[in-house]
A and B are shown apart, each in its own frame.
Chain A
């Protein structure tokens, strides 16, 4: 039963390698994206932790999406 599934009348090599390639690509992209996200989050936490109380107040006032996007949205993928 299981060997029949893997054999697929002689097409198992083609079918399963296609599915495997797809899943490996998905997993690779997910891991890379997740690690980039975690890296930026950590960077943010470190920077925020270094702020003094005055800077924290200032940071809370920042209009992130209007002002900063307009000035500095450019970063490498």
Chain B
């Protein structure tokens, strides 16, 4: 970018490399902890290691969707298009994380429950989240009218947010195959530190990856805007 000395733009560009290197370092450490150092579960054996990719993916996909819904509300209240741009840049990584949570959960289900899939409340609500992500992404591709796409994607994000507490509390509200949460903020965590530490490292790595993709997508959107600016000359 030859001429635009914009603080926001240069910050986004520089931070990409830092985040990429940090992600690779923490991911390597996390994989070593998750696959080699962490112990087997007394009941599930080595299959418990799937938790180190399944759980962080689920957490991050829920977090990203919540953020997208909050940003969509702010777009409506403050009419600030930057919020919208941020929400749009977050969506692809959120979708991938929800997909990873579903697929790895399904793979984990086979040795644990004896089936790849069950129409269980937690799994079904996660599938609905994945569909909401897909609807959000597809809406951007199919609608041409700019006012319409703003309204549609905001509506999808806000409507989909209703599903977030359902996912979170589904294991408490209904009798499900899926086990209740082992890591809790407001009550006692029922997971040993030898498993909690790798879980924390993998969560940090996944969060960095979502940040990396967000920065790259946001950067792409900014350059698209600059391109449109040049077209107007």
Contact = CB atoms under 8 A, between A and B. Distances in A.
Contacts of B18: none
Contacts of A8: 45-46, 49
A19 B31 contact: yes
Contacts of B207: none
Interface string B188-202: 000000000000000
B81 A60 contact: no
Contacts of A43: 223, 227
Nearest to B146: A74
B157 interface: no
Given A29-B96, A47-B230, A51-B233, A18 B108 contact: yes
B129 interface: no
A10 B57 CA distance: 24
A58 to B, nearest CB: 5
Given A8-B46, A19-B53, A51-B233, A26 B96 contact: yes
Interface residues on A, range: 35 or more
Interface in B198-224: 209, 212-213, 216-217, 219-224
Interface string A38-49: 001101110110
Interface string A41-74: 1011101100100011011101011001110111
A21 B91 contact: no
Contacts of B4: 60, 64
Contacts of A73: 81, 84-85, 221, 225
A4 to B, nearest CB: 10
Interface string B40-70: 1000011101100110010000000000000
Contact of B35 (A19, A33, A36, A51): A19
A11 B111 CA distance: 8
A3 interface: no
B104 interface: yes
B54 A18 contact: yes
Contact of B111 (A14, A22, A45, A70): A14
Contact of B213 (A18, A33, A55, A68): A33
B88 A77 contact: yes
A22 B230 contact: no
Given A14-B110, A47-B230, A22 B57 contact: yes
B39 interface: no
A56 B230 contact: no
20 contacts: A8-B45, A11-B45, A11-B49, A15-B46, A18-B107, A22-B100, A33-B92, A34-B216, A37-B220, A40-B220, A40-B223, A44-B1, A48-B3, A59-B3, A64-B4, A73-B84, A73-B225, A74-B150, A76-B141, A77-B88
